[in-house]
């Protein structure tokens, strides 16, 4: 991983940590902005940067640093909400598929004198990227539930109905809003992230 990727991975990991502290307490799983930054980092940076950011975040928490909503340590990772934390890894992997597309294709949102020459191909790329962001962002959100809800169920010996009511249903509206924001952020900043990673920013 080159220096620019390392910097971006560390930045996104920091944002995920900050997102964990911007929370709305609601037991047993707090609502935070954690997933917004996980999905955004992957939609923008791709699978390597997204998964790397989440891995750093989980590793810091595992060794005891208070980066999780409830603090830090293996006890939290292995506790009832641990599945939602582990679910961030497949979520980053899935959302990163859209990010990989953005990194390989020029998604230009700027208006310039050459606009007439780029309308056709650029519009197609923008629509494709938007579609991929919505598709894989949605799959990423579902992946968190697919890991977190069963983990919660077996950790607390709950029925499936209770586990879904406690770990998924209360958060659907909030996660939908966060997904919409993540997709919007991706559309806005993808060109700049691509330029930064390619070292082609103007200076």
In DSSP notation, 26-56 reads: -TTS-EESHHHHHHHHHHHH-HHHHHHHHHH
In this prediction, residue 110 carries a pLDDT of 53
Beta bridge partners of 32: 23
Q: What is the pLDDT of residues 41-66, one digit of tens each?
A: 999 999 999 999 999 999 999 999 99
Mean pLDDT of 173-184: 93
Please say if the pLDDT value at position 27 is more than 90.
no
CATH number for the 3-109+118-198 domain, one of 1.10.3720.10, 1.10.1760.20, 3.90.550.10, 3.30.70.1150?
Answer: 1.10.1760.20
Total residue length of the chain: 203
Please say if the pLDDT value at position 11 is more than 50.
yes
Q: Which DSSP string corresponds to 90-159?
A: HHHHHHHHHHHHHHHS-------TTHHHHHHHHHHHHHHHHHHHHHHHHHHHHHHHHHHHHHHHHHHT--
Choice among 88-92, 120-124, 138-142, 197-201 with the minimum mean pLDDT: 197-201
Q: For the chain, which residues make up each domain, given as ranges?
A: 3-109+118-198
Pairing between β-strand 23-24 and β-strand 31-32 as defined by DSSP bridges: antiparallel
SS3 of residue 84 by DSSP: helix
What letter does residue 24 receive in the DSSP assignment?
E
* pLDDT range class, residue 113, cuts 50, 70, 90: very low
Q: Which residue has the higher pLDDT, 202 or 124?
A: 124
List the structure tokens of 121.
């191909």
In this prediction, residue 69 carries a pLDDT of 85
Mean pLDDT of 74-93: 96
The Cα-based distances of 137 to 8, 38, 155 in angstroms read 20, 10, 27
């Amino acid at each position: 991983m080159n220096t620019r990727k390392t910097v971006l991975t560390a930045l996104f990991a920091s944002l995920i940590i900050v997102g964990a502290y911007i929370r709305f307490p609601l037991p047993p799983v707090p609502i935070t902005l954690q997933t917004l930054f996980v999905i955004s980092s992957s939609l923008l940076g791709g699978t390597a940067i997204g998964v790397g950011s989440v891995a750093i975040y989980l590793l810091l928490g595992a060794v005891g640093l208070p980066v999780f909503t409830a603090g830090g340590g293996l006890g939290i990772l292995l506790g009832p909400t641990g599945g939602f934390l582990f679910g961030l890894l497949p979520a980053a992997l899935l959302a990163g598929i859209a990010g990989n597309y953005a990194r390989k294709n020029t998604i230009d949102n700027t208006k310039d004198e050459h606009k007439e020459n780029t309308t056709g191909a650029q519009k197609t790329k923008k629509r494709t990227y938007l579609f991929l962001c919505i598709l894989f962002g949605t799959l990423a959100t579902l992946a968190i539930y697919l890991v977190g809800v069963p983990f919660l169920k077996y950790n607390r010996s709950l029925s499936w109905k209770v586990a879904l009511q406690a770990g998924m249903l209360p958060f659907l509206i909030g996660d939908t809003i966060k997904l919409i924001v993540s997709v919007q952020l991706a559309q806005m900043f993808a060109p700049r992230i691509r330029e930064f990673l390619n070292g082609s920013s103007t200076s």
